[in-house]
Amino acid sequence: MPTKTFEFQVEARQLLHMMIHSIYSNKDVFLRELISNASDALDKLRIEALRDDTLNADVSDLHIAIEADTDARTLTIRDNGVGMSHDDVVQLIGTIAKSGTAEFLQQMKQAENTAAAEGLIGQFGVGFYSSFMVADEVTLLTRRAGETTGTRWASTGEGTYTLETVDEAPQGTSVILRLKPEDTEDKVFDYTDPAKIREIVKRYSDFITWPIRLATRAPAAAEPPEQENDEAGERPEPETLNSRKALWARSRDEVSDEEYHELYKHISHDWADPLEIIQMRAEGTFEYQALLFLPSHPPRDIFSQDNKRGVQLYVKRVLIMEDCEALVPEYLRFVKGVVDAADLSLNVSREILQQDRQIQLMHRRLAKKVLSTIREMKANRPENYASFWREFGRVVKEGLLSDFDNRDTILGISSFATTHDAERPTGLQEYIERMKEGQQHIFYMTGESRSAIERSPHMEVFRDKGLEVLLLTDPVDEVWVGSVPEYQGRELRSIAKGEPELGTEEDTEEAKADREQQREEYAALLTWMTERLGEDVKDVRLSSRLTVSPACVVSDTGDVTPALQNLYRAMGQDIPAGKRILELNAGHSLVEGLRRAHAERPSDPALPGTAELLYGMALLAEGSQINDPARFTQLLAERLERTL
Ligand SMILES: Nc1ncnc2c1ncn2[C@@H]1O[C@H](COP(=O)(O)OP(=O)(O)OP(=O)(O)O)[C@@H](O)[C@H]1O
C-alpha cells in the first residue's frame, strides 16, 4: 500500500510546535497520557463486546504492554483494545476537533510564564500529542477491532504526517516513540530505563484496572525457576507494573491524595488536581461505592449542548458505562468519578438506567452527598468554596429550577454579589443576619453587570437607607429568581418590581398625611400622563424608591422582566413585550415643575413632549433602549435650544 503524506491542520501544527518546544516542564506525563488512552481503548472494547456479541474481536487477554529498547532508543506502548479505523486516525490524530483550540492557542501565546502556560495546558489537555515532548518521531499502528486492515500513522511533528494502510496489524494500537536523546537538564530522562518506567507507572497509573506489563531485555530480578529452560532466556516473563487496586474500594486512609488525583485525571482528562474528593458507600439491599471529584475548574464545554456529563458506572469493578448521566443531575454535570454497583446487569442500557428505581435512588443520594460536601466546604474551607463557587456557581444555580427537593440546600450553599461588600460575595444566611430592623425581605436586582445595577435609579433609596441588595448578574439568575419565593421565611424581592416595602419607613401620622397630600396634588398629572403614555406604560405613579433621579420604570410584581423576555426570545419563544410602570420622584424639581405646568396650563403643547422625555430618560437610566431615539433626540434638542 502506498504511503501518503498529509499536512497537519493549522491548529494541530501550532499545538505540536508548542509541544516540541516543550512548554510543559514535567515531560514524564506523556506516558500517563498514552496509558490513559490505551486504558480507555480497552474499556471501550470490553463495553462494545458486551453489547455486540457478533463483534469479531479477541477480548481474552486485554492489557497494556510497554516495550523498551535501550539500544534502538525506542519505547512502545501497545494495547489490544478497540483500535482506530483509517477515518478515526485522520479525524482524531491529524486534526484537533476540540472546540476552543484557536482561542486556547491565542491565550497560550499571551501566557506570560511557564506556570501560566502549564495552567492553560492543564485546562485543555493535549493527550497523544504530548509524546512529541520526548520523541522526535512517533509512529502509531492501529487496527479497529472487527476490521481486517490496519493503519500506520507516522510523524516527526513538523508539519506533516504520513498514512498507510497495512494488512498485518494486531488488533488495537501501538504507539512507537523514537526517543529524543536524554537531556536531564531539560527533564527528558532515559525513558527506556525500566526503573524510570516503573516509577512513572506507579506514580500516575497504578489504579488503571488493566494490567500494564513491561517487557525489558534485561530481567529486573532473578528469573523464576520454571523459566530457566526457556529458550528465549533474554525474554523474561513481562512484569506487571500496576497494583490495579480499585481506589474506591479502599478506605480513605490507605490511599494518598496523589493517587486519588491521578485517578481523577485519568477519568476527567483534566491535567489539574481536583478540588474535593468525595467518597461514599451504601450497604443493604442495593450496594454501591462511589468516589466522586469536584474539579478545580470547569471544562470548556460546560455550557455546550454536547457536553459529556456523568460519572463512570462500574459493576463489580468492571466499567460498563463511561458517562452515565442517569447518576447525576444536570446541574451537577461537572462532577466526575466512579460509581461501582454490586447488583446491576453488565449490559444494562442507558434507557433502562434512566427508569431504574435503584438508579433513581442512587441519583438522589449522590446529589445530596455532593451538595452536603459543598455546604461543608463552605463552612470549613472557605477558600476552596470561594473558588468552587466562582467556577461552578452559575451551573449549580440551574438546580434551583429543576431540583425542588434540594432547593433550600442549593440556596443555602449559594453566594451572591452584594452591595454590602464589593469584594466578597455573601450567602443568604449572612444576608439575613445583617438585615436592618424592620426589614422583611431579601432585596435583589438582576442586571448585566455589577456596575450597571449599581448605576440604576432603582438602587437610590436602598443606597440612601443602607439596605443591602444582592446583585444578580448571571443569565440563569433571571430565570430562577422568579420561581423561588423565599428563603427561611424571607421573601426574595426584586427592587425593580412592585413597591419596595422597605420596612424602615417612619410611619408617623405626619408622614402618612404628607404622602396623602402629595398623592392628591399629583393625581391629575398622573392620570393625564398614564393616558398620554398609555401605549408604552400601564401606569404612572409616585415613587418611593427614587432620591436623585426624576423617574424610573419598574415591572409589576408578577410580570416577566424585559431581561427575561429577551432570554426567552433568544431561546426561540415568542413573548409579547409587556407594559411596565413609570414612577416619578415627587421630590425632583423637574417632576415638580411638570406638575405645576400641567396644573396651570393643561393645554400647553410642550407638555406631552416633556412627559415622553421623562419616560425615555427613565429607560436610558436603567440601560434599556428607547423606542424612537430620533424623536427623543429631537425633543431634547428643542428644549436645549431654548436654554441658550
Ligand atoms: N490507544 C488508543 N486506542 C484507540 N483510540 C485512541 C488511542 N489513543 C488515542 N485514541 C483516540 O484518539 C483520540 C484523541 O486522543 P488524545 O489523547 O489526543 O485526546 P483525548 O484522550 O481525547 O483527550 P485528552 O487531550 O484530554 O487526553 C482519543 O479520544 C481516542 O478516540
Report long-range pairs for 257-262 (Cβ below 8 Å, ≥24 apart): 258/203, 259/206, 259/207, 260/291, 260/293, 262/32, 262/203, 262/204, 262/205, 262/206, 262/207
Give per-residue pLDDT as tens, 220-251. 444 454 444 444 445 667 899 998 889 998 98
Same domain, 635 and 490: no
Check which CATH number belongs to the domain holding 116 and give it: 3.30.565.10
Q: How many domains, in total, are found in the chain?
A: 4
Same domain, 495 and 533: no
- Evaluate if pTM is beyond 0.80: no
Which ligand 1 atom is the nearest neighbour of the CA of 175? 1
Same domain, 577 and 616: yes
Q: Is residue 403 part of a domain?
A: no
What is the H or E stretch that residue 172 is in? strand 172-179
Position 230 scores a pLDDT of 46
Ligand 1 midpoint to CA 354 (Å): 28
Q: Is residue 309 part of a domain?
A: yes
Give per-residue pLDDT as tens, 263-309. 999 898 888 899 999 999 998 878 999 999 999 998 877 887 777 77
Ligand 1 is surrounded, with C-beta below 6 A, by 33, 37-38, 41, 79, 81-84, 92, 125-129, 173, 269
ipTM of this predicted structure: 0.96
Same domain, 74 and 129: yes
Ligand 1 midpoint to CA 118 (Å): 20
Ligand 1 midpoint to CA 195 (Å): 26
Position 10 scores a pLDDT of 82
Joined together, the cell numbers standing for residue 491 give 421573601
Q: Is residue 409 part of a domain?
A: no
Ligand 1 midpoint to CA 37 (Å): 5
Ligand 1 midpoint to CA 206 (Å): 20
Which ligand 1 atom is the nearest neighbour of the CA of 269? 26
Give per-residue pLDDT as tens, 142-197. 999 999 999 999 999 888 999 999 998 999 999 999 999 988 887 788 999 999 99
Whose Cα sits closest to atom 27 in ligand 1?
127
Task: Return the amino acid letter for 408.
Answer: D
Q: Considering only 315-329, 396-410, 587-601, which range has the smallest mean pLDDT?
A: 315-329
Residue 611, pLDDT above cutoff 90:
yes
Ligand 1 midpoint to CA 344 (Å): 29
Which ligand 1 atom is the nearest neighbour of the CA of 125? 25
Closest CA to 498 of 544, 465, 534, 450: 544
Whose Cα sits closest to atom 17 in ligand 1?
127
Q: Is residue 410 part of a domain?
A: no
Position 227 scores a pLDDT of 46
Q: Is residue 352 part of a domain?
A: yes
Same domain, 521 and 482: no
Whose Cα sits closest to atom 7 in ligand 1?
37
Beta carbons within 8 Å of 316's beta carbon, 6+ residues apart = 340, 342
Whose Cα sits closest to atom 4 in ligand 1?
83
Which of 487, 506, 525 is the last residue before a domain boundary?
A: 506
Report long-range pairs for 155-160 (Cβ below 8 Å, ≥24 apart): 155/8, 157/16, 157/19, 157/20, 157/132, 158/16, 158/20, 159/7, 159/8, 159/13, 160/5, 160/6, 160/7, 160/8
User: Could you tell me the residue range of the domain that residue 116 belongs to?
Assistant: 4-223+233-240
Pocket test for ligand 1, best of 11, 31, 77, 92 (most atoms within 8 A of CB): 92
Position 203 scores a pLDDT of 87
Same domain, 301 and 262: yes
Same domain, 186 and 69: yes
Q: Is residue 397 part of a domain?
A: no
Q: Identify the residue with better confidence: 355 or 389.
A: 389
Whose Cα sits closest to atom 24 in ligand 1?
127
Which of 464, 490, 506 is the last residue before a domain boundary?
A: 506
Whose Cα sits closest to atom 22 in ligand 1?
127
Ligand 1 midpoint to CA 215 (Å): 24
Check which CATH number belongs to the domain holding 525 and give it: 1.20.120.790
Same domain, 158 and 286: no
- At 281 the three-state DSSP class reads strand
Whose Cα sits closest to atom 31 in ligand 1?
92
Which of 485, 506, 527 is the last residue before a domain boundary?
A: 506
Q: What is the pLDDT averaged over residues 550-575? A: 81
Same domain, 460 and 572: no
Check which CATH number belongs to the domain holding 422 and give it: 3.40.50.11260
> How far is the C-alpha of 602 from the C-alpha of 620, rounded, in Å?
27
Whose Cα sits closest to atom 8 in ligand 1?
37
Q: Is residue 398 part of a domain?
A: no
Same domain, 50 and 197: yes
Same domain, 77 and 134: yes
Check which CATH number belongs to the domain holding 366 and give it: 3.30.230.80
Whose Cα sits closest to atom 9 in ligand 1?
37
Residue 112, pLDDT above cutoff 70:
no
Q: Is residue 593 part of a domain?
A: yes
DSSP per-residue codes, 492-557: EEETTBS----S-----HHHHHHHHHHHHHHHHHHHHHHHHTTTTEEEEEE-SS-SSSSEEEEB-T
Same domain, 496 and 521: no
